[in-house]
């Protein structure tokens, strides 16, 4: 048996020993919430709770797998708990209860770019493609997602200032929305939002199914609860109607995804919505020194909503956080580069140094200097690995293997071939849905430029018969590379240098495709692999290489570094909101708190006297979140010799 009192601090122990009823675990940054959750899983199992009756919901599959693995090591045996993301859980339930949800169990999961393609197809069919003041496919996909995640109608969204220009086409946009929904239904497609909507709707329509799921999972734990949206919270309510064994874990001060639909009110109102809720605070921080935490504690006082808490460190430092004043953003970048070099010379690995900023454009000056210096870095927030066009091309082959009615996958694959553009691709893909792959060898293609090439596609598809999943993927990858190389070598180009550049890109892309094949070895079926890659499309961050990290604050939550350098710690950038106490201002307070609490030992906050915000010069006044508290930091004026 595990000696829980020996392994945990007092508050962690309280959380782990909580056996019955609702509980809110308020875990400040660096206070060991993951450790606490794992020990609670272990305690429940040691107390006789069946592992199969425990559901642990997280926001990444990586986090879920890590928690499950650590629990198994602690218990020294395999445990059959269900640990996964919201979307993975909903997909699992929808495939099992598909008939109740009114869908086919072999539905394909589509990403945002796929949704944008569907919108473009629908716009063409409705003759909307040439209308003025119509959003692009990508923008409209984002708008529809915002409506779902915020729980508002499209009509309400169009009243927001950023979408005013589309209001004149409100009726057409509503028609487009219906057309897109109908298309997805006809082709057995669900996007991330549809997954949640379908599952939530099924639970509401079939209370007996909801009760069955509730009875299956006697204990539910939700990690990062502050990041949940209205829809995710609604799903939890429906499977905790009778059984109140629910523990939600989070930190209201780390709720920084409002723009994605996360609703901090979920965690703020939880004790009121669940009678008898026990609230437990974790405030003993195991990451940062007390000097950094003193600043973080002060930053929290700027919020006009939230739970009051004060983080306590396990150690102190003689060094306060530093506020560094420089003339402008160019000087800022120069000083940051010098500071990075100094920290590295002291023995700090580059991967333990992180430069943070509110908006991606703020790192441009520094990136130029780093490139000149030859100093490699990882920038968090770019295009994800699984969203890269060539990876989506390869995955499209698996999509038509698992779901032959996936027109989008046909549409993508066909365009890889010589002589096939969007019009031909759309026409052929629709015929393939009607007549199957055999349409690829129909006599009508013989005299077409592409005829011989789509015959090869047909042969490739036929070759999958009887093969294992990994063999099919390997074959598809080889076919893709050979087909694309042939297309590049034979297409018309403005100059041969363009052709050569495309061939070089293909060679680089082959490396990514090799990585994809390695990833696939952990899965036993194409459908399982597609579910995982679509639901957890996270980019590789090169953790084994010693690279400096540049990141937006939003992309670094959950991570920690020895040294953090926060760019442009000034009013109009951090905070960007002008109105104190507004929802935007409270979100900026939380962003500042997240940034500060990423640092373990050293924290620099940069203040350029003149800064650029979207090309406009603004005065660099120290952020009001820390202004006037010079007892919490050392301030330096950085001078340069001309």
Q: What is the DSSP annotation of 524-557?
A: SSHHHHHHHHHHT------TTS--EEEEEGGG-T
The torsion angles phi and psi of 23, rounded to 5 degrees, stand at -145, 145
Please give the span between the terminal C-alpha atoms of the chain, in angstroms, as a whole number: 68
Quick check: 607 and 324 in contact, CB under 8 A? yes
Nearest CA among 285, 348, 294 for reference residue 313: 285
Rounded-to-integer distance, Cα 370 and Cα 365, Å? 9
Q: How far is CA 157 from CA 8, 135, 312, 347, 641, in A?
A: 47, 13, 42, 51, 52
Reduce the DSSP state of residue 257 to 3 states and report it: coil
Sequence ranges of the binding site for ATP = 27-34
Nearest CA among 283, 248, 224, 213 for reference residue 11: 283
Q: Which two tokens stand for residue 315?
A: 């150690």
Rounded-to-integer distance, Cα 118 and Cα 496, Å? 34
- Cβ-defined contacts of 3-8 (< 8 Å, 24+): 4/39, 4/43, 7/39, 8/35, 8/36, 8/39
Quick check: 249 and 221 in contact, CB under 8 A? yes
Q: Which two tokens stand for residue 609?
A: 């006297």
Instruction: Please state the separation of Cα 427 from the chain's center in Å.
Output: 34
Quick check: 406 and 437 in contact, CB under 8 A? no
Say which residues have a Cβ less than 8 Å from residue 553's Cβ, sequence separation at least 6.
256, 356, 357, 358, 591, 594, 595
Rounded-to-integer distance, Cα 265 and Cα 150, Å? 12
Sequence ranges of the binding site = 27-34
Rounded-to-integer distance, Cα 348 and Cα 354, Å? 11
Quick check: 209 and 203 in contact, CB under 8 A? yes
**Is the N-terminal amide bond of 161 cis, ω within 30° of 0?**
no
Q: How far is CA 358 from CA 385, 509, 553, in A?
A: 23, 31, 6
Reduce the DSSP state of residue 619 to 3 states and report it: strand
Angle at 296 between CA 291 and CA 298, to 5 degrees: 100
Q: Which two tokens stand for residue 518?
A: 């390695």
Nearest CA among 228, 311, 305 for reference residue 590: 305
Length of the chain measured in residues: 642
Rounded-to-integer distance, Cα 578 and Cα 584, Å? 9
């Amino acid at each position: 048996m595990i000696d829980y009192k020996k392994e945990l601090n007092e508050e962690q122990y309280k959380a782990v020993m909580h056996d019955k009823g609702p509980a809110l675990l308020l875990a400040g940054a660096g206070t060991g919430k993951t450790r606490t959750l794992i020990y609670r899983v272990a305690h429940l199992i040691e107390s006789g709770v069946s592992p199969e009756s425990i559901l642990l919901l997280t926001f990444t599959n990586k986090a879920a797998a890590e928690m499950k693995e650590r629990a198994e090591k602690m218990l020294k045996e395999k445990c059959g708990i269900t640990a996964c993301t919201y979307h993975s859980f909903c997909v699992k339930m929808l495939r099992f209860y598909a008939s109740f949800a009114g869908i086919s169990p072999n539905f394909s999961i589509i990403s945002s770019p796929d949704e944008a393609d569907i919108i473009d197809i629908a716009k063409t069919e409705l003759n909307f493609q040439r209308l003025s003041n119509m959003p692009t496919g990508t923008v409209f996909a984002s708008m529809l997602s915002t409506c779902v995640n915020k729980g508002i109608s499209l009509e309400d969204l169009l009243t927001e200032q950023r979408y005013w220009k589309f209001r004149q086409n409100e009726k057409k946009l509503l028609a487009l929305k219906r057309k897109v929904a109908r298309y997805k239904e006809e082709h057995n497609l669900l996007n991330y939002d549809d997954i949640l909507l379908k599952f939530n709707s099924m639970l509401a329509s079939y209370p007996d199914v909801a009760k069955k799921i509730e009875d299956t999972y006697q204990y539910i734990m939700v990690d990062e609860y502050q990041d949940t949206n209205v829809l995710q919270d609604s799903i939890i309510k429906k499977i905790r109607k009778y059984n109140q064994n629910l523990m939600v874990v989070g930190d209201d001060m780390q709720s920084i995804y409002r723009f994605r639909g996360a609703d901090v009110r979920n965690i703020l109102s939880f004790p009121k919505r669940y009678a008898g809720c026990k609230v437990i605070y974790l405030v003993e921080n195991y990451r940062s020194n007390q000097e950094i935490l003193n600043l973080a504690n002060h930053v929290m006082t700027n919020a006009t909503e939230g739970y009051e808490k004060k983080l306590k460190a396990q150690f102190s430092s003689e060094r306060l956080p530093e506020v560094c004043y420089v003339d402008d953003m160019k000087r800022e970048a120069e000083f940051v580069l010098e500071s990075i070099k100094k920290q590295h010379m002291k023995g700090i690995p580059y991967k333990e140094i992180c430069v943070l900023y509110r908006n991606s454009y703020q790192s441009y000056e520094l990136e130029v200097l780093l490139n000149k210096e030859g100093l490699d870095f990882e920038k968090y927030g770019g295009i994800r690995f699984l969203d890269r066009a060539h990876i989506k091309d390869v995955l499209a082959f698996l999509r038509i293997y698992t779901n032959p009615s996936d027109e989008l996958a046909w549409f993508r694959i066909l365009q890889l071939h010589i002589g096939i553009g969007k019009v031909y691709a759309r026409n052929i893909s629709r015929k393939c849905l009607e007549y199957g792959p055999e349409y690829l060898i129909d006599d009508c293609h013989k005299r077409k430029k592409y005829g011989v090439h789509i015959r090869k596609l047909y042969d490739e598809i036929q070759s999958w018969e009887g093969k294992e999943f990994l063999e099919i993927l390997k074959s598809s990858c080889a076919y893709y590379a050979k087909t694309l190389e042939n297309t590049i070598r034979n297409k018309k180009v403005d100059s041969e240098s363009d052709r050569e550049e495309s061939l070089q890109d293909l060679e680089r892309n082959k490396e990514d495709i090799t990585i994809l094949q390695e990833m696939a070895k952990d899965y036993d079926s194409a459908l399982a692999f597609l579910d995982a890659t679509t639901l957890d499309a996270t980019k590789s961050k090169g953790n084994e290489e010693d690279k400096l990290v540049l990141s937006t604050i939003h992309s670094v939550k959950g991570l920690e570094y020895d040294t953090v350098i926060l760019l442009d710690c000034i009013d109009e950038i951090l905070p960007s909101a002008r109105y104190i106490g507004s929802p935007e201002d409270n979100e900026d307070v939380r962003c500042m708190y997240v940034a500060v609490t990423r640092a373990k030992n050293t924290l620099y906050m940069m203040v350029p006297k003149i800064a650029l915000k979207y090309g406009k010069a603004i005065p660099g006044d120290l952020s009001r979140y820390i202004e006037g508290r010079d007892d919490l930091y050392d301030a330096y004026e950085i001078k340069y010799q001309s």
